[in-house]
Amino acid sequence: MIAHRSMMSLTTKNISNANTPGYSRQRANFIAQNAPGMAVKVGVPQAIRAKFIQSSILGSKQSFGFNQGQTDILRVIEPTLNDLDGNGISQALSDFFGSANEVATNPAGLSERQDLVHKARFLAHTLNSSARALTQAREAAHLEATDTVDEINTIVAELAKLNQQIVDHFGEGTQGEALIDQRNQLLNQLSEKVGISVLSTEENSVSVFLKGGPALLSATIPNKLRVTGGGNAALGVVIDSPSGSTTKTTIPLSGRLGGLFQARDVTGKQVLDDLDQMAFGLITAVNTLHQAGFGLDGSTGNAFFEPLGAATGAAQGIAVSAVIENDPSKVAAAKVDTLLPGDNSNMLDWVALQDDATVVAGGKTVSEAYDQIVSRVSNDLRSAEGQTYFESNRLNNLETLRDSVSSVSVQEEMVALSQFEHGYQAAARLVKVADDLYETVLRMV
Amino acid sequence: MRITESLVYKLMGTETLRAQGNMERAARPLMTGRNISRPSEDPALADQTNKMEREFTKTTQLMRNIDRTRSYYGLVDATVQNVSDILIELQTLAISQANDMLGPNERLAGSAEAKQLADTLAGFANGRFDGKYLFSGRLEGTPAYDAALNFTGDAIGRKVQIGETTKIDAHITGVQIFGNGALGDVTAFQAANNLITALNANNTPGITAALGELNTAHERVTVAHAKVGSRMGELQSTEFLLEDLNLARKTTYARLTNVDVTVAASEMAFAENVLQASIDTAKQLNRSMFQNMIG
């Protein structure tokens, strides 16, 4: 009766946990006994798990997390480089050069010059906004990475506690198995956040390492991950141990943290650098022409854009010079001051800059440089989204397989419950028969 | 394969969400009217679209340049025609006055007529367009001719871009029409004055010489007029070419970027059906599992 009642209790536990995420159904076996008064006992309950599926889930989670992390940041970056609605840097560039062409056609016209200054100002503001948005996206990635690391540290601390509890309850069956299920759930969560490898130790404890790197968790001793870098510097991580030592690591990370680093410090940084190069090339080329030319009032030597010393920060710093803003007649359309106001030869050279492949470092026109920037972001995002989708499907399939092996089928448990109930009733009947026999003997005495 | 409750619920959730996502993706082109709204949806198409839009802006600007230049040449054409007509009248007058049968009085009357024509001719020298002097070249803020009818403008003029790599002269200058005194030409004004002088002096050889000068001046105007015509022709043919290019580009652009409503609506309907089927299946599965649990 006790054996059957234990089995009913185990079955009830399984049914109660049918919807518990990560719960692995538990099974125990009847073991026949020859001891007096004990015909059968129940073995230690074991959880039904497929380790190879669990290991595949960990790998898939890492890849999913990596691509999801990239996608999240690139989706924030993409709108700053989206010209499909007719507004954006590409159109601003076209309008700027178009306006220069208007001045070339009517160099004496003040309204054409004012329009050129307006279009230049708009181009500068558009570049400023895009650069600011890119910088903010990189800062957001940094904040997100810091939050992710906090979550990682919390999970690692919980894993350490669970390891201790699992060791304490080693071989005790049900309670230990439930703890292992909880630990597997935490490992899944952890691996989505950062790529890990897991090493099982004796007594069912685990150590967790950064994939290809140092230990995050040594059985019951948790280390702490910390983000380094920021601003213009690339992000990295170090591991602080409870003893006070710090381990640097330069291995490429996977998981969400790796995806955030990739989006921020590879794609995001490259895009910002390229935008800066494009802006700097434009400023330098236009200013070189402008300073050699003559305004309507005969003035010369004026920069059209505020000069910048280096490419870094050029996209955020580009601005029409105050001299030109205050007096558009100083726009230097002429090369020869004795042919004012009608000489437009400087402005024609300015218009030709649009197709000049020496403007941007690397042998690119301004438009080509911008097209490459947009292409990089859109292709990286498309690839990351595609990989996220692929990994999401793979993860679903793996989790379906896992559920098929490990999760509870209520119908199955109901059948088992019925079986054990009948067994319990049969055993109870035996007790009744034995009791009746005993009473009969007593009455005979 | 074991079918468990969590497996079924997960399947319901995943597939319903997937169907919902597919429907949203199918609906977006219909709502925006565009095949793509983000570059990452089709990077190659986005790149093509950006390039095409830049081409449109360029072509539109070139057509504006052509339009403005054509307005200038339209006025120049009319002016040069008038100049040509006046020179013809002066030539006719000179021919009729070269007759030795005419006396001083007739020649004085002829001189008065020639003076009137010469004054009209001089009036065209500093014609204006859009606030600028027509024949001053790049020195368009300065009169082309001073009071003594000496050329004070720019003899070359500027160029204007009308094609990808094509520029056209934006001016006909005074020296091209009336002659360049600084280079030793007898200008049209000088030729008219020489006729007046010869008529006043009753000088038949002088009248004949002035006629020759007027003939040369008229040839010069004819050549200038032909240039104007040729440039207007070039402007027109370039404009036609740009219009054809623009039309071809716009057709391609529309085909690439605008959504085919029929196809999009059909895809949307399919996605909607799949979503509905997914929801109905989920309801059915849910009902049957609930009955199993309580049954």
Write the pLDDT tens digit of every residue in A267-316.
Answer: 999 999 999 999 999 999 999 999 999 999 999 999 999 999 999 999 99
Say which residues have a Cβ less than 8 Å from residue B91's Cβ, sequence separation at least 6.
Answer: B211, B214, B215, B218
pLDDT at B96 over 80: yes
pLDDT of the residue at A348:
96
Q: Which of residues 27-56 of B touch A (CB under 8 A)?
A: 34, 36-41, 43, 46-47, 49-51, 53-54
pLDDT of the residue at B196:
96
pLDDT of the residue at A204:
80
Inspect the interface and report whether the beta carbons of B158 and A342 lie closer than 8 Å: yes
The whole-angstrom distance between B141's CA and the closest CA on chain A is: 7
Task: Tell me which chain B residues have a C-beta less than 8 angstroms from the C-beta of A404.
Answer: 1-4, 7
The region that residue B33 occupies, defined by phi over 0 for left and psi between -120 and 50 for alpha, beta otherwise, is left
Using the Cβ of A407 and the Cβ atoms of chain B, whether some distance falls under 8 Å is answered with yes
Average pLDDT over residues A34-51: 80
Beta-bridged to residue B34, according to DSSP, are B258
CA A304 to chain centre: 42
pLDDT of the residue at A261:
95
What is the percentage of chain A residues whose pLDDT exceeds 70? 99
Using the Cβ of A368 and the Cβ atoms of chain B, whether some distance falls under 8 Å is answered with no
DSSP states along chain B: ----HHHHHHHHHHHHHHHHHHHHHHHHHHHHSBS-SSGGG-HHHHHHHHHHHHHHHHHHHHHHHHHHHHHHHHHHHHHHHHHHHHHHHHHHHHHHHT-TT--HHHHHHHHHHHHHHHHHHHHHHT-EETTEETTSTT-TTS-SB-TT--B-S-SS--EEE-SSS-EEE----HHHHH--GGGT---HHHHHHHHHHHHHTT-HHHHHHHHHHHHHHHHHHHHHHHHHHHHHHHHHHHHHHHHHHHHHHHHHHHHHHB--HHHHHHHHHHHHHHHHHHHHHHHHHHHHHHHHHH-
Using the Cβ of A381 and the Cβ atoms of chain B, whether some distance falls under 8 Å is answered with yes
Task: Tell me which residue has tokens 């919807």.
Answer: A19
Inspect the interface and report whether the beta carbons of B7 and A344 lie closer than 8 Å: no
Rounded to the nearest 10 degrees, the angle between the axes of helix A174-193 and helix A255-262 is 10
DSSP states along B120-163: HHHHHHT-EETTEETTSTT-TTS-SB-TT--B-S-SS--EEE-S
Say which residues have a Cβ less than 8 Å from residue A12's Cβ, sequence separation at least 6.
Answer: A417
**Residues A1, A427: contact at Cβ < 8 Å?**
yes
- For residues A31 and A35, give the distance between their C-alpha atoms in angstroms, rounded to a whole number: 12
Greater model confidence, B294 or B29: B29
- Of A201, A166, A172, A168, the closest CA to residue A186 belongs to A166
Task: Tell me which residue has tokens 């030869």.
Answer: A345
Tokens describing residue B186: 């007898």
Average pLDDT over residues B163-191: 92
pLDDT at B295 over 60: no
Say which residues have a Cβ less than 8 Å from residue B255's Cβ, sequence separation at least 6.
Answer: none
**Residues A100, A281: contact at Cβ < 8 Å?**
no
**Residues A162, A184: contact at Cβ < 8 Å?**
no
Q: Which pLDDT tens digit goes with each residue over A96-117?
A: 999 999 999 999 999 999 999 9
Using the Cβ of B167 and the Cβ atoms of chain A, whether some distance falls under 8 Å is answered with yes
pLDDT of the residue at B292:
64
Tokens describing residue B284: 């059915």
**Residues B57, A119: contact at Cβ < 8 Å?**
no
**Residues A239, A225: contact at Cβ < 8 Å?**
yes
Tokens describing residue B252: 């391609």
Backbone angles phi, psi at A344, to 5 degrees: -125, 10
Task: Tell me which chain A residues have a C-beta less than 8 angstroms from the C-beta of B140.
Answer: 108, 341-342
Q: Which pLDDT tens digit goes with each residue over A47-94?
A: 888 889 999 999 999 999 999 999 999 999 999 999 998 889 999 999
Backbone angles phi, psi at A392, to 5 degrees: -60, -45
A116-126: string of b/e by CB count within 10 Å (b at 16+)?
A: bbebbebbbeb
pLDDT at B118 over 60: yes
- For residues B231 and B86, give the distance between their C-alpha atoms in angstroms, rounded to a whole number: 23
pLDDT of the residue at B61:
94
- For residues B280 and A32, give the distance between their C-alpha atoms in angstroms, rounded to a whole number: 50
Tokens describing residue B243: 């219009």
Inspect the interface and report whether the beta carbons of A345 and B170 lie closer than 8 Å: no
Q: Which pLDDT tens digit goes with each residue over A230-243?
A: 988 999 999 999 98
Q: Which pLDDT tens digit goes with each residue over A165-181?
A: 988 877 666 677 888 89
Query: Residue by residue, what is the 3-state secondary structure of A118-150?
Result: HHHHHHHHHHHHHHHHHHHHHHHHHHHHHHHHH
Task: Tell me which chain B residues have a C-beta less than 8 angstroms from the C-beta of A354.
Answer: 58
Q: Which of residues 143-162 of B touch A (CB under 8 A)?
A: 154, 157-161
Q: Which pLDDT tens digit goes with each residue over A381-426?
A: 999 999 999 999 999 999 999 988 988 888 888 888 888 888 888 8
- Of B102, B127, B136, B114, the closest CA to residue B214 belongs to B114
- For residues B222 and B80, give the distance between their C-alpha atoms in angstroms, rounded to a whole number: 9
- For residues A188 and A190, give the distance between their C-alpha atoms in angstroms, rounded to a whole number: 5
Tokens describing residue B60: 């539109």
- For residues A280 and A286, give the distance between their C-alpha atoms in angstroms, rounded to a whole number: 10
- pTM of the predicted structure, to 2 decimals: 0.87
The whole-angstrom distance between B195's CA and the closest CA on chain A is: 35
Task: Tell me which residue has tokens 């013809």.
Answer: B88
Residue of chain A with shortest Cα separation from B66 = A105
